[in-house]
Amino acid sequence: MLVVIKVWCLPPNQAEDDLNRLHRVIVEAVTSVTELGLQGEDDLICLFPPDLMEYGLRKEIAVEINTDGLFENLEQTQEVYRRLRGCVRGSVQEFYPEAKVRCFVAVAIFAD
């Protein structure tokens, strides 16, 4: 399974080195939630899409974690979601202490 993480509303003109460090910290945060069974950066994609509107940049950062199909067989899924959100939010917050960082898990549910 592959996890896709999008970090929205970052300050403009981020240096490549800064984004690489942020990527590594996010990978560490996600893999620290051992119930996910993710081993490293090959198990997830981090995207840093640019925002076309400068208003509000740096004040709020949104982190979207898409876990489509990842939690099909996990028990205590809600607790894992909470820990995942907390670990990722905390890691991004360290990079941008002045911003309000919001983190949410997007889950697709399909019925057969």
Q: Residue 69 — very low, low, confident or very high, per pLDDT cuts 50/70/90?
A: low
CA distance 88 to 33: 10
For a pLDDT cut of 90, what percent of the chain falls above it? 53
Q: Where are the domains of the chain?
A: 3-106
Which residues, in sequence order, are CB contacts of 31 under 8 Å at separation 6+?
38, 39, 40, 43
What tokens were used for 74? 């996990």
Which residues, in sequence order, are CB contacts of 25 under 8 Å at separation 6+?
91, 92, 94, 95
Q: How many other β-carbons are positioned within 10 Å of the β-carbon of residue 74?
A: 14
Burial class, 36, CB count within 10 angstroms (exposed 0-12 / middle 13-18 / buried 19+) = buried
SS3 assignment, position 63: strand
Superfamily in which the 3-106 domain is placed by CATH: Macrophage Migration Inhibitory Factor (3.30.429.10)
Tokens 């800064």 sit at which residue?
Answer: 18
Q: Average per-residue pLDDT in the chain?
A: 85
- 98: DSSP letter: T
Check pLDDT > 60 for residue 80.
Answer: yes
